[in-house]
Structure 1
Amino acid sequence: MRVTRLLKSLAIATALCAGAAQAQVSVMLPANPGGGWDSTGRQAFQAMNDAGIYTGTVNFTNKGGAGGTIGLAEFQRAEKGKADALAVFGAITVGSITLNKSPVDLSKFKPVARLTAEHLVLAVKADSPYKTLDDFVAALKSDPGATAVGGGSAGGVDHIALALLAQSAGVAVPKLNYIPQAGGADTVIGIVNGTLKAGISGISEFQQFAKEGRIRILGITTAERMKGLEDVPTFKESGYDVEVANWRGILGSVDMPEANYKEWVERFSKLSESKEWQAVLDRQGWDGYFLPGDAFGQFIQSESTRINQILKDAGLSK
């Protein structure tokens, strides 16, 4: 009898170990492949794997549109209560929820970790007549409707940055010709083929194209000039009171079991301290902006208030 019980216990333990070995997580990337959210999610989990923090299977799903609200709405609905379901999102989402009247409710998700901050750059075609940010602003003042600018979703951080630049330059925000793009690569294509006079996006989405000589970066939204882009002046340096960054982070599913939630917060905390993640930050030009768990939840609440007030002040929402 004792031998039988022992064999049963060993069988159960073996099954549990096999299940752990086959662990997998599903990750919603609410954007098209190749953009900032896509890169954040994939590279975070690659670094986590390289560091031995989580080495199980990761199933990524890309579902772009409307500033991440389409993918997050599906995530909110379909992944409710699931133990290992995560989603990438960021500052863009907050304003997009308001402008798209989205059913997404950020307060219902589990706030796992804020990971990065990325400042924005404004770029034009390499042979554009706009040689400086002042040149571009002059064109914007002269005829804002004819100065098409591409960027992320309406109400996102790119749109907000352009609105703040316009306000600082005395240009009426409602007159801006802002054209949302599916991703950073699409914005570059629009700049190069001439359908856009300029584009605004995160550094990582434009930097390589600038190195290839396809576009010229006119300004950056940092407080000081950035390492690696020392020849690019800040918006403030050029006389425009604009400093803004696009932060990105990880959400857990609605009603994620508490034990799983704590485990993911711990995993991302370990990731933030790893040399593998630091290498990703250095390579991508991202700033480490880590904030775990409940502290991240409080940050999301404060950012929702701040960003929605900016949208109202800029006349982009009521």
Structure 2
Amino acid sequence: MSLPVAGLSGCAGTVAKPGDLSRLRIMAPASPGGGWDTTARLLQRVIRSTGLARNVQVFNVEGAGGTIGLGQLSRESDDALLMMMGLVMVGAVETNKSKVKTSAVTPIARLVGETEILVVPAASPYRTLKDFVEDWRGSTREHPVAGGSAGGTDQILAGLLAQAGGVDPKEINYIPYSGGGQSLAALLGGKVAAGISGIGEYGPQVTAGKLRGLAVSSEKRSAQVPDVPTMTEAGYDLVLSNWRGLMSHPGLTPDARADLTDLVTRAHDTPEWQDVLSKNGFDDLYLTGDDYGAFLNEEEQRVQKILTEIGLT
């Protein structure tokens, strides 16, 4: 089914007719200002500015790592509705014992990924990731690690690194903070031995010399901190991206799914979206259709396994 010409028909809150994407809604299942909200609004801006759809609304449904929004999406029937989500939600489904799983809704596209970075204070004795992991293995509880919410990407990476380095994941002294500013204060104040977060949070502090980056979680080094090796380069066969993607309601017809996928693909292929990737330091992880669905299944199994081994589920 061909994508209709963008127009001004429809209004927020109404249910779109099949094939009518002139009026689009994007749910950010978190509070304003976070990663999902920011990515949703960047996509909104690109769709509007390129004329793919001029009437695009982003709205927030907060709570429980996105699982409240996931539950709401599972009851929707609007064919012009997308929900931003990502790795954090996959973990939150497990830790919050959500009755609705990501498999209950329809995958549309994986959009972007954000590289994670493990850092220590600039005055830390640890010069390499191997140095830190060796001491971490010997006295795990005495080396607290700061990160974001429990069960989120940062803790998942800590658990995977522990496994790769011969550290008991259940012994990790992981201290969750609600924001990067709080974890940064803990690092600079010497309250934790190391911190894990998105490169957007810690990267500028590494560049400024306040923190030392020991490794990034991407396949290749990050242009933001080119001197920081990957975890694989550091000797640990580990790659993890804090990816974000889009879902729609369950029961979406093949034609409606094709229309949404076509819209998002056309937005992704614009110079404006490539500019978004560059300016925000996002990795382009675009993936659609059954390939995206298969990726989600693999991520669910990997996350469930590590959260169980950490002791969170």
**TM-score, length-scaled by structure 2:** 0.82
| 1:218–1:199 Cα change, 3 Å | same
1:42 counterpart residue number: 41
CA contact 2:206–2:225 (8 Å) conserved in 1: no
Distance 1:269 1:135 in 2: 43
Supply the distance in 2 between the matched residues of 1:42 and 1:117 (Cα, whole angstroms). Answer: 16
Checking the alignment, whether the CA contact within 8 Å between 1:92 and 1:153 is kept in structure 2 is no
Aligned: 1:298 with 2:273: no
Matched residues, number: 298
Aligned residue among 108, 114, 117 for 1:112: 108
Partners of 2:24 and 2:53 within 8 A in 1: no
Paired position in structure 1 for 2:117: 121
Q: 1:64, CA displacement in angstroms? A: 4.3
Residue 177 (structure 2) pairs with residue 177 (structure 1):
no
Shift of 1:219: 0.8
Aligned to 2:214: 218
Once the two structures are TM-superposed, the CA of residue 121 in structure 1 deviates from its matched residue by 0.7
Alignment of 1:1-318 (within 5 A): 19-20=9-10, 24-61=23-60, 63-65=62-64, 67-77=65-75, 80-256=76-252, 260-312=256-308, 314-316=309-311
Structure 1, residues 246-304: CA drift from partner, whole Å, max 9, x if none?
22101113345665543321110101211111111111222211122343223222322
CA distance in 1, matches of 2:46, 2:123: 38
How much is the aligned-residue C-alpha RMSD, in angstroms? 2.7
What is the CA–CA distance in structure 2 between the aligned matches of 1:27 and 1:191, rounded to whole Å? 36
In terms of Rg, which structure is larger? 1
> CA offset at residue 86 of structure 1?
2.1
CA distance in 2, matches of 1:169, 1:89: 30
| 3-state secondary structure, aligned to 2:204 | helix
Contact conserved, 1:191 with 1:198, CA < 8 A, in 2? yes
- Secondary structure of the structure 2 residue equivalent to 1:19: coil
Q: Tell me which amino acid in the other structure corresponds to 1:207.
A: G
SS at match of 2:9: helix
| Higher share of residues assigned helix | 1
Q: Contact (CA 8 Å) 2:90, 2:300: kept in 1 or not?
A: yes
Distance in 2 of aligned mates of 1:119 and 1:280: 16
d(CA) in 2 for partners of 1:238, 1:163: 17
Partner of 1:8: none
Change beyond 3 A, Cα 1:236–1:258: closer
Q: Identity across aligned pairs (percent)?
A: 36
Call closer, same or farther: CA 1:303–1:250 in 2, change over 3 Å.
same
| Alignment check: 8 A CA contact 2:27 2:61 kept | yes
Q: CA deviation at 1:193?
A: 4.0
Query: Alpha-carbon deviation of 1:133?
Result: 2.0
3-state DSSP class of the match of 2:59? strand
User: How big is the shift at 1:118?
Assistant: 2.5
Choose 289-298 or 172-181, whichever is displaced more. Answer: 289-298
Cα distance in 2 for partners of 1:33, 1:129 equals 38
1:92 and 1:18 map into 2 onto residues whose CA distance is 34
The CA deviation at 1:173 is: 0.9
The TM-score normalised by the length of structure 1 is: 0.81
Amino acid of the residue matched to residue 173 of structure 1?
Answer: P
Structure 1 residue runs of 5 or longer lacking an equivalent are 1-16
- Cα distance, 1:21 vs structure 2: 8.1
SS in 1 for 2:74: helix
Structure 2 unaligned segments of length 5 or more: list them.
Answer: 1-6, 13-21
3-state SS in 1 of match to 2:215: strand
Q: Deviation digits for residues 229-258 of structure 1, max 9, x if unmatched?
A: 221012222222222222210111334566
Summarize the Cα distance change of 1:166–1:126 in structure 2 as closer, same or farther, 3 Å threshold: same
> In 1, distance between residues paired with 2:35 and 2:265?
21
Give a deviation string over 1:113-133, Cα, whole Å, max 9, x none.
Answer: 111123211122333343332
> Any idea what the Cα deviations from partners look like across 1:129-153, whole Å, max 9, x if unmatched?
4333234324422432232212233
CA distance in 2, matches of 1:185, 1:60: 25
- Return closer, same or farther for 1:182/1:73 CA change in 2, 3 Å cut-off: farther
Distance 1:280 1:18 in 2: 25
CA contact (8 A) 1:116 1:289 kept: yes
